[in-house]
């Protein structure tokens, strides 16, 4: 059974990023359809998979991480214009039977992602 999961780590503080709002969109042509919205828990993870089983279909998806809200709430940035605010990560799911883990590592001035396990 396939599934999609994510988590967020704060590399500046060296700990999980709790309270990050994440939206998941299904992309088809020019259409963006919101599939799910969650907030990370104390471990920087979602309480369950973003999608699993029949809900995960092959295709293109986008996770949008509300990093700016988190960075403000954690006291790492002020109220002005941020270098990083919303971070979109667009990725493909070629085989809906596999597990796709798309983590985000953030700091006030940089981020990275990869396909995890």
Kindly give the residue spans of alpha helices, DSSP state H, lying in 50-96: 67-73
Using alpha carbons, list the distances in angstroms from residue 48 to 5, 67, 108.
8, 20, 27
For the chain, how big is the Rg over CA atoms in Å?
14
Instruction: Report how far residue 41's alpha carbon sits from residue 58's, in angstroms, rounded to the nearest whole number.
Output: 27
Number of structural domains the chain divides into: 1
pLDDT in tens, 55-108: 999 999 999 999 999 999 999 999 899 999 999 999 999 999 999 999 999 999
State if pTM tops 0.75: yes
What CATH number did the domain enclosing 33 receive?
A: 2.60.40.180
Q: Are 88 and 68 in contact (CB under 8 A)?
A: no
Residue range(s) defining the domain that contains residue 29: 3-113
């Amino acid at each position: 059974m396939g599934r999609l999961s994510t988590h967020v780590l704060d590399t500046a503080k060296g700990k999980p990023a709790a309270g990050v709002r994440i939206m998941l969109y299904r992309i088809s042509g020019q259409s963006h359809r919101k599939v799910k919205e969650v907030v990370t828990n104390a471990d920087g993870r979602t309480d369950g998979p973003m999608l699993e089983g029949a809900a995960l279909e092959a295709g293109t998806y986008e996770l949008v991480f509300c990093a700016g809200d988190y960075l403000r709430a954690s006291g790492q940035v002020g109220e002005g214009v941020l270098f990083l605010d919303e971070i979109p990560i667009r990725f493909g799911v070629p085989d809906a039977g596999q597990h796709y883990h798309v983590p985000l590592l953030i700091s006030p001035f940089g981020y990275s992602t990869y396909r995890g396990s």
